[in-house]
Amino acid sequence: DKSPYTFQELRTYYKGRYPDEQIQDLWDNRMVPVLPKLLEQGTPEQRADRDYVLKALKLRGPELRHAAVDLRKDKEVVLQAVKQDWISLDYVPEELLKDRDVIMAGLQQDWEAITYASKELLHEEEVVVAALSASIMALQSIPEEMWQGSSARSAMLDSLRRNPEPLRHCPKAIHADRQVMLEALRLRPKFLEFLAPELVADRDFILAAVKGNWEILEF
């Protein structure tokens, strides 16, 4: 019935219908833990208590939105939330979205953390490389001039090799990049459909692509 139960409540609910072993198995293997909403259901005093908030965020990061305003500006508090769940970035004040540590904590979980980064951080190589290492989809948010660094390109190509499919959703400018598209066509000949017109018309490029994967001829 999707209601939360303690083990004793579950046992009482099913007692007489199922043996204890089955109830124990249900508890161990089929029940989903429900994390307490310590801040949402907390008192104003608890929401303003730094130690209490830190403990609460360790369990459920997005509860940051219920913390006292001053604590939402506290870097350690914010980091605790983001490390638990990157989506906590939704509730981080703008000034801390300029902080490298905060964005990097999010990028350790999901490339989309880059979409929260300040303009300044989008021009930092360390941040760019971390985002591209997570997924080539990060190109959607990273300025084009930051694509060209050797570390950024290496991260980009590594991500492409791990999972080439997101390339179809990347900015069109990357579809004109010779190195990236040669690797993409080697991995997925069907990506010919995304190839920039200038590369389609480039005989040397097409020959190199065919050498990389002859199946491109089928497309």
83 pLDDT exceeds 60? yes
Tell me which amino acid residue 117 is.
A
Residues making up the chain, counted from first to last: 219
Q: How confident is the model at residue 11 (pLDDT cuts 50, 70, 90)?
A: confident
Q: How confident is the model at residue 5 (pLDDT cuts 50, 70, 90)?
A: low
Kindly tell me if the per-residue pLDDT of 1 is higher than 60: no
Summarize the confidence of residues 49-73 as an average pLDDT.
Answer: 94
Please work out, in degrees rounded to the nearest 5, the angle formed at the alpha carbon of residue 96 by the alpha carbons of 54 and 123. 135
CA pair distance 197, 115, nearest whole angstrom = 29
Where residue 98 falls among pLDDT bands split at 50, 70, 90?
Answer: very high
| pLDDT number for residue 12 | 83
Assign 63 a pLDDT band (cuts: 50, 70, 90).
very high
How high is the pLDDT of residue 154? 95
pLDDT at 32 exceeding the cut of 90: no
Measured CA to CA, the distance from residue 53 to residue 81 in angstroms comes to 10
Lookup: tokens for 73: 């500006």
CA-based R_g, the chain, Å: 24
d(CA 112, CA 132): 10
Q: Between the ranges 18-27, 37-46, 169-178, where is the mean pLDDT highest?
A: 169-178
| Count of other CB atoms within 10 angstroms of residue 161 | 13
Q: Tell me phi and psi for residue 195, to 5 degrees.
A: -65, 135
Report CA-CA distances (Å) from 195 to 1, 191, 214. 51, 7, 16
| Pairwise CA distance, residues 84 & 101, whole Å | 14
Range scoring the smallest mean pLDDT among 130-139, 148-157, 207-216: 207-216
Q: Which of 144, 189, 152, 188 is nearest to 170 (CA)?
A: 144
Cα angle, residue 158 at apex, residues 170 and 191 outer, rounded to 5°:
45
pTM for the whole structure: 0.78
16: left (phi over 0), alpha (psi -120 to 50) or beta: left
Confirm if 27 and 10 have CB atoms less than 8 A apart: yes
% of the chain beyond a pLDDT of 70? 95
User: Residue 33: what pLDDT?
Assistant: 64
Instruction: Extract the tokens encoding 18.
Output: 């199922």
Residue 15 phi/psi, 5-degree rounding, is: -60, 130
Q: Please tell me the least confidently modeled range out of 25-29, 98-102, 142-146, 192-196.
A: 25-29
Query: 52 with 46: CB under 8 angstroms?
Result: yes
